[in-house]
Structure 1
Amino acid sequence: MSVIKFEQVCKQIGEFELGPINVAIPAGSSVAVIGDNGAGKSTLLKMIMGLAKEDRGRIQLFDQNRVLGDNGWKKRIAYQPQTTSGCSSLKGSEMKKLIAHFSSSFDEERFSRYVRELNIPLNKRFDKLSQGVQKKLILALTLAQPQDVMIFDEPMAAIDLMAQKLVIDEMVQLMDEDLERTILFTSHQLHDIRKFADYLLLIRQGEFLGMFEKDDLASKFTRFWLDQPLQQPVSCVVHTSGDGREIISYKENITEQELNKSNTHIIRKANVGLDEILPAVLSGELDLKNCHNQHYAGII
């Protein structure tokens, strides 16, 4: 079952356009939304929450269309925004009381543990806290609401290493507690993406590139170093260096067979990791659409 489905969704903000987005996010998955700054990641999350209205297309939640005025679906989603508003004058204890009142899933014991481990003062006004402590408080309030879908917008930004470890460990724990729980998060931290994400949803300057299985994408590409420049086209090659002695293939066996037939000696070969793949994709250097046998996960 898909918990979130985008069908031809587009959003225009000035001259910037996000979409069209066509994707179905399965229940029980962890999805990293990846893109450069300004790519449209936060806007995508806001559209899910109804905080930004799509201009075209349709978004379904829990296999149902959203109905204007019906916010019942929000009771099944916990959301940590990148920035907050309207709570500057509230103390942490008052924010907790407010969230606990409206959230049926709020776990007081869990929240108290986060406050203790992250050293969050609840007796101070929100606007008197440092940026990092503000972020810790918002994360603690969100993590303490174990919902069917949990959405985090840049959860690792502006927090220290200890807090980052706690957040990722708690995300793993939340997924283990409920195998149908789904977590979406935006991140620039490759370590967290490697450790936690099942799928990678990629956006480049508003263009939806697809949603890919992380492990499939991480093992998909092979770099070949050749003893001479490539003399003729070879199947499945998506990148060739300037001197033609280094190529990247999305189908190792086929490319290797053709190189051998052409008497091109392979000096060595190696897997291309996510630390190279993702920057190349987001910069446009590597076009995943050229990989004809790519595995699109959850694409309608």
Structure 2
Amino acid sequence: MGVIELKNVYKDIGEFSLGPINVEIPYGSIVAIVGDNGAGKSTLIKTIQGLAKETSGEVFLFGERRKLDDESWRNRIAYQSQTLKGCDRFTGKDLHQLISHYSMTFNEEAFERYVKDLDIPLNKPFINLSEGVRKKLNLALTFAQNKELFIMDEPTAHLDMMAQRYVMDEIVRLMEADSERTILFASHQLDDIRKLADYILLIRKGNFLGMYEKDELTLMYRRYWLDTEVTSAFPGVVKISQQGREIISNNPQLTEQAFMQKGIHIIQKSNIDLDDILPWLLSGEIKLKDEKQLVNW
């Protein structure tokens, strides 16, 4: 059993429905939750932690069913929300005292390093900080907790380029320090996903598409340029250009066999980067292997 396991989990909020989600997140991995705007990424993060109670299904944390009347499991999780709500009048020093008091694993030395490296003022009220500095403070308070599981919602949003690089480097350092540590993060940032994620958990408009190894996704799709116009669907083909000579397949082996049988010559072929694959998947322009729709462009 993984550090997080969801079994047939649904979450309904008004007219929006997330699920069903069946997934197991392994120990010692970095998993990126990727989805379109409003897909349910933050809802999933909150549901895992019981901040938004699942409508149905089961949530397991650290090998045991999560219980809301016994929240000892929370001591093993560091959660970074998109924003710190209700903290406007608190200074960074106030928030540091509050969180370090309740987090038994809080690393004071690490926090001081983050404050120095990221140039975080601790004496100003939170409301007077810029959006980027608020995020830096939020991250410093999260990283310093030194937990087994980090759950992070858009960790590099609103940060400048130098701070983004620092945060990504720190995530790598935290993983190197503990091989069993797990980081689950939601992000729209392709650079974060490409450089950090071992696995990508895909959600489109509340529908769980699956969790894939990052390298598996890039190998799953291939682009072909052909000597003959293709006008009908071939096995694995999920996207055909208007001219019919450029196609994308999500099952290259099956597609190439079909081309060979039909005497279609492949002029050139190439793998496709995540920068193209993820936007296409989330918009529905291309499909996964279990989605049969063919798209023309």
Is this a same-fold pair by TM over 0.5? Answer: yes
Q: What does residue range 67-146 of structure 1 map to in structure 2 within 5 Å?
A: 67-146=67-146
Which residue type is aligned with residue 223 of structure 1?
A: R
Q: Deviations over 1:34-88 (max 9, x none)?
A: 0111110001001112111111111111111122321100000000001221221
Cα separation, 2, equivalents of 1:231 and 1:130:
54
Q: What is the root-mean-square deviation of aligned Cα atoms in Å?
A: 1.4
More displaced, 27-36 or 266-275? 266-275
Deviation at 1:253, TM superposition (A): 3.2
Q: Is the 8 A contact 1:238 1:290 kept in 2?
A: no
Q: Structure 2 vs 1, CA of residues 106 and 46 (structure 1 numbering), >3 Å: closer, same or farther? A: same
Shift of 1:290: 2.8
Give the match for residue 188 of structure 1. 188
Query: How far did 1:291 drift?
Result: 6.8
Q: Distance in 2 between matches of 1:173 and 1:188?
A: 22
Following superposition, the deviation at residue 266 of structure 1 comes to 1.4
Is 2:281 the counterpart of 1:286?
no
Give 3-state SS (helix, strand or coil) of 2:220's partner.
coil
2:248 equivalent to 1:242: no
Please say if residues 236 and 291 of structure 1, whose CA atoms lie closer than 8 Å, have aligned partners that are also in contact. no
In 1: Cα distance, 2:75 partner to 2:95 partner: 18
- 2-side partners of 1:291 and 1:20: how far apart? 16
2:19 aligns to what? 19
Match of 1:296 in 2: none
Indicate if the aligned counterparts of 2:78 and 2:145 stay in contact, CA closer than 8 A.
yes
Q: CA deviation at 1:256?
A: 2.1
The equivalences for 1:1-300 within 5 A come to: 1-230=1-230, 232-290=232-290
User: Does structure 1 conserve the Cα–Cα contact (< 8 Å) formed by 2:236 and 2:289?
Assistant: no
CA change 1:235–1:113 in 2 (3 A) is same
SS in 1 for 2:45: helix
Q: Is 1:250–1:291's contact at 8 Å kept on the other side of the alignment?
A: no
Aligned-partner Cα distance in 1 for 2:229–2:5? 46
**CA displacement, residues 239-295 of structure 1 (integer Å, 9 cap, x when unaligned):** 222332111122323322321332212121111111111111101121214379xxx
Q: Distance in 2 between matches of 1:232 and 1:136?
A: 52
Distance 2:47 2:289 in 1: 26
- Which is worse superposed, 217-226 or 234-243? 234-243
Aligned partners of 1:39 and 1:205 also within 8 Å: yes
Rounded to whole Å, the distance in 2 between the matches of 1:67 and 1:182 is 20
| Counterpart contact for 1:35–1:282, Cα < 8 Å | yes
Where 1:44 maps in the other structure, the secondary structure is helix
Paired amino acid for 1:227: D
The unaligned stretches of length 5 or more in structure 1 are: 293-300
Cα distance, 1:232 vs. partner?
4.9
Q: Using structure 2 for the length normalisation, give the TM-score.
A: 0.95
Partner Cα distance (2:277, 2:71) in 1 = 39
Identity rate of aligned residues, in percent?
Answer: 56
With normalisation by structure 1, the TM-score equals: 0.94
**Counterpart amino acid of 1:180?**
E
Aligned residue-pair number: 292
* One-letter amino acid matched to 2:4: I
